[in-house]
Structure 1
Amino acid sequence: MTLPQLNIYRHDRGTRALITLAGEIDPVTAPQVRTVLERCLDDGITTIDVDLTTVGRCDSSGLRVFLDTSRHAAEARASLRLHHPSPQTARLLADTGSDRVLLTWRR
């Protein structure tokens, strides 16, 4: 059995961070995503953009991380937005109504 792999890249520019994720977001990798997003808020980042272009799959554990972090960001007067989700992830967001909170655009 192989473990899911997720690569996380963070690029800051002032108070804005671009987080690029590559791989799968599931119960094994979601804590890594939570850590990097929460660290952005701890570092004073006010705009967090998450690029999902190369995320093949995101399950409910990943969705929970994004929703929790979005709530924490709002409490800190910051924002978190997801960009370029796969069709599967876009469906998950739409089916749960989370697209209105997390996406900068809707299909």
Structure 2
Amino acid sequence: MTLPPLTIYRHDRKNRALITLAGEIDLETVPLVRASLERCLRDGIRTIDVDLTPVTFCDCSGLNAFLNASQRITAAGGTLRLHHPPPTLVLMLDVAGCEFLLLGLPFGHLPPPPEKAPATTAPVPPHRPVPPVPALAGGAV
């Protein structure tokens, strides 16, 4: 089975770019993603929006590319935002705690926030001091 290639479209408006990725982002195609984001930086673009609507799959190499690009773009005074990511990428971003990269997430992608548990009034067990650890010969602990 042949994987669909990754197609990259870029539309610039002054110092802002919209990059639309279409296809699959994996180990074979992620160099194209990295190169397009790096090219934006070299061209003086500081606000990059990445539309992932036509992306059918993104593995952890894609996540790594987006996190690296975000770090470099932020260091240059810019921002990177991902729009409409595929469910696999949403799950990875959620697990990794990187939701700050997301903007324009379709309704229902992430589960609703957990409801706050009611405050309990159970007594807190008393603190027990931990006995000191004896030092080993030679002063090493």
TM-score range, shorter chain: over 0.9
Residue 73 of structure 1 is matched in structure 2 by: 73
Higher strand share: 1
- Describe the SS at the equivalent of 1:37: helix
2: CA distance, partners of 1:68 / 1:4:
24
Question: What RMSD over aligned residues (CA atoms) do the two structures have, in Å?
Answer: 1.3
Q: How much does 1:2 deviate?
A: 2.3
Residue 50 of structure 1 is matched in structure 2 by: 50
Structure 2 unaligned spans of 5+: 111-141
Q: RCO (CA 8 Å, sep 6+): is it higher in 1 or 2?
A: 1
2: CA distance, partners of 1:63 / 1:86:
12
What TM-score do the two structures reach when normalised by structure 2? 0.71
Residue 97 of structure 2 is matched in structure 1 by: 97
2: CA distance, partners of 1:41 / 1:23:
23
Q: Give the letter for the 2:103 counterpart.
A: T
1: CA distance, partners of 2:3 / 2:84:
24
Higher helix share: 1
Structure 1 unaligned spans of 5+: none
- Runs of 4 or more, structure 1, over 6 Å off, are none
What TM-score do the two structures reach when normalised by structure 1? 0.92
Aligned residues with identical type, % of pairs: 58
